[in-house]
Structure 1
């Protein structure tokens, strides 16, 4: 372990976290002033050639909050473990795993991290689930939040909306009604309008919607109609999600023409 100057540590460009609670950072900074940094940062050594010779800097792999708080506390150096320069794929995985182990990582930040793993490094949802210790259905549900308009994503990031409300907004395909439901959630109302169906019936349907969603790993809505009729709608948002859904529905059997 080494003591490294804070000015020489560059932030990790693959860090999924964007929002930091100012009050919590100040509290951590005060704790660092009193007790120091208990858990060292993890960095990689970066060497660049210049006219004066070889310049040495360090890129952060994990410990963003500790580094920010240490700077606020006025620490000129921080304890750090120097690792061999990992490929970008591993840097992102390490940053994601560290943050996913924290309870305060919000769902949209996690979803953006998963999306980067998919888009920039061609890692499948199944592989992401394996790397992060979550179910594939949880990864798929998180990624769907990125289909919400940016202001709704921001509301989830800032904890004005929760993940369940975000999934409820995704089920509303009418954009005008979706916006109305969004405003209702912000105002503390649970629904856009009073349900026409008896309470017990609606609660029963909600239970089965969640049960089917958990089994299929996809958003499900149940609509009841007069005369005992109704329909079940299952949504998917990518070819990969369709393949996973089809596999679950058919038990992995291939369709034959």
Structure 2
């Protein structure tokens, strides 16, 4: 599914009702980095082209910053700021806005996600950062960044993979689809071995799904539609991912939580249900 592109104007980032102070030409030395920058890797193959464009035409789209005691703090436009420094600019246009810490993080993530500037692992880490820092549920994160909850949940699952596999996904040697398929393999040693095989042989996601079936010694059994409906119903009720596993004599319900506050929220909801 194609991502919704960010508009060209600054209003695409800042809704009209959001307080904006003014647009200024700021000294680059007065702008400190965004502490919530979601991009983990600062390497960018397209940066030289942006530097060249800035040298020839200047910076067309201003940065977004907020005031701090010692100057200004970047909200959006880290890539443009780096390119401006490389281009030798001394001043740069910036929109100064009023923003809380959570709004700074949200805007930085939204800008990068919608511009497709984040690799899948950076995107997943950004979602987890929102949840851990501000106690958001998966549903709330999905609403903030304009994604389906299932998309957010699938991205977060990538963080369960070993670091070596995550590095392959960051570098583009593996896709997020490969990563999700590897999660079906039991045990990290087997996942790592298969990941190396994917890189060596350029295997497809479908190839990995076949390997996952073989590793189980049988074709994966389809989950009962009634169980799937129950999982969805409970997930919507609790605002988090729920898995139901059934056996011949017993079963298991797994409820995910990401912070202590998230755990307390889920516990409160469960107590409310049982008290009715």
TM over 0.5: yes
In 1, the alpha carbon distance for the partners of 2:113 and 2:171 equals 17
User: What TM-score comes out, normalization by structure 2 length?
Assistant: 0.69
**Per the alignment, in what secondary structure is the counterpart of residue 186 of structure 2?**
coil
**Greater CA deviation, 87-96 or 59-68?**
87-96
SS at match of 1:171: coil
1:28-51 CA-to-partner distances (Å, cap 9, x unmatched) read 001100011111000011114xxx
Q: CA deviation at 1:167?
A: 0.4
1:136–1:78 CA distance, 2 compared to 1 (3 A): same
2:158–2:166: 8 Å Cα contact kept in structure 1?
yes
What TM-score, normalized to structure 1?
Answer: 0.73
CA distance in 2 between partners of 1:67 and 1:91 (Å)? 16
Q: Is the 8 A contact 2:162 2:188 kept in 1?
A: no
User: Secondary structure of the equivalent of 1:42?
Assistant: strand
CA RMSD of aligned residues (A): 3.6
Q: How does 1:107-256 map to 2 (within 5 A)?
A: 107-187=120-200, 188-190=202-204, 191=207, 237-238=256-257
How far residue 179 of structure 1 moved from its aligned partner, in angstroms, is 1.3
Per-residue deviation, 1:238: 4.1
For each residue in 1:62-111, what CA deviation from the matched residue of structure 2 results, as whole angstroms up to 9, or x when unmatched? 00010000011111111001112x22111101111111111232111111
Aligned to 1:42: 64
Give the deviation of 1:133 after TM superposition: 0.6
Take 1:74 and 1:9, find their aligned partners in 2: how far apart are those partners? 15
Unaligned runs of 5+ in 2: 1-22, 223-227, 236-240, 244-252, 267-272
| Mapped partners of 1:196, 1:151: distance in 2 | 23
What SS does the corresponding residue of 1:3 show, helix, strand or coil?
A: strand
Q: CA offset at residue 236 of structure 1?
A: 6.8
State how far apart, in whole Å, the 2-side matches of 1:172 and 1:129 are: 27
* Residue 72 (1) aligns with residue 86 (2): yes
1:30 partnered with 2:61: no
SS in 2 for 1:23: coil
Residue equivalent to 1:63:
77
Aligned to 1:2: 24
Where structure 1 has 5 or more consecutive residues not aligned to the other structure, the ranges are 49-56, 207-211, 221-233, 245-253
Q: How far has the Cα of 1:125 moved from its partner?
A: 0.8
Structure 1 counterpart of 2:116: 103
Shift of 1:158: 1.3
Q: How many residues align?
A: 223
Cα distance in 2 for partners of 1:173, 1:114 equals: 25
Separation in 2 of the partners of 1:15 and 1:164?
25
Give SS of 2:46's match: helix
Q: Paired residue for 2:95?
A: 81
Per the alignment, in what secondary structure is the counterpart of residue 118 of structure 2?
coil
